[in-house]
Structures are given as structure tokens and as C-alpha cells.
Amino acid sequence: MIELAQALSTDPVLLENGPAIENAGMAALAVGLAAFGAGYAERGIGAAAVGAIAEDRGMLGPGIVLTVLPETLVIFAIVVIFLV
């Protein structure tokens, strides 16, 4: 146990004083979270859109447009990549 603690305390990665995740990593995480949010939003809209299309084929166009609207979230998040 003590040996393990000693080994950890001398681990070069942990001793380094920098952040755990670098800027690029953080930006990737941000895009990932944004995509997650967009996916969750699309779940509900997609279900409703399929319901509407089932009743009326004419809703196919509006249905697709509304379903992918939350995708704009991810596009904004991609901007972050160019900022780092």
C-alpha cells in the first residue's frame, strides 16, 4: 500500500503541474457534450415528426427540417475547435 502511494507520488504525469486535460481535449469534450444535447433534443422531435408523417405524408419535408434543427448546436460547438 505504502509502496503504491510512493509510486503514485513520484509518477511524472501526476507531478507535472499542468492541467489534466489540455485545451484541445477540452474542446473535443465540449463538442461531444453539445452533440449529446443535440441528440437528446432530436429524440423527442424525431418521434413527433415520425408521428406527424405517419398521419400525413406531406409532413415529410417539415419533419426532417425540424428534426435536424438541434444539429445547429453542434455546429456552434465546432466553432470552439477553431478557437483553441
Partner 1 sequence: MRDLELGRTFQQTNGSSNLEYVNARVRARRAALFDDDDYRKMIRMGIGEIARFMEETEYQREMNALGARYDGVDLIEYALNQNLAKHFHDLLTWADGMLYEQIAAYLRKFDAWNAKTAIRGIYSGADAEEIEDDFISAGEFDEAFLASLSTADSVEAAVELLEGTIFGEVLEPALVEYQETDVLVPIENAIDRAFYEHLMDGLRGSETTQAQQLYAEFLEAEIDFRNARNALRVAFSGADIDHSEFFIEGGVLFDRADIQSLLTEPGALADHIAESRYGERLADALVAVREAESLIAFERALEAAILEYSDRLANVNPLAVTSVLAYILAKEREVENIRAIARGREVGLSEQEIEEELVII
SS3 labels along 11-57: CHHHHCCCCCCCHHHHHHHHHHHHHHHHHHHHHHHHHHHHHHHHHCH
Which one among 8, 24, 26, 47 touches partner 1, defined by CB under 8 A?
47
**Could you say whether residue 56 binds partner 1 (CB under 8 A)?**
yes
> Smallest distance from the beta carbon of 67 to partner 1, in angstroms?
11
Q: Residue 78: which H helix or E strand, with range? A: helix 71-83
> Should residue 38 be labelled a site residue for partner 1 when binding is judged by CB under 8 A?
no
Regarding 49 and contact with partner 1 (CB under 8 A), the answer is: yes
Question: Which residues of the chain form contacts with partner 1 (CB under 8 A)?
Answer: 44-45, 47-52, 54-56
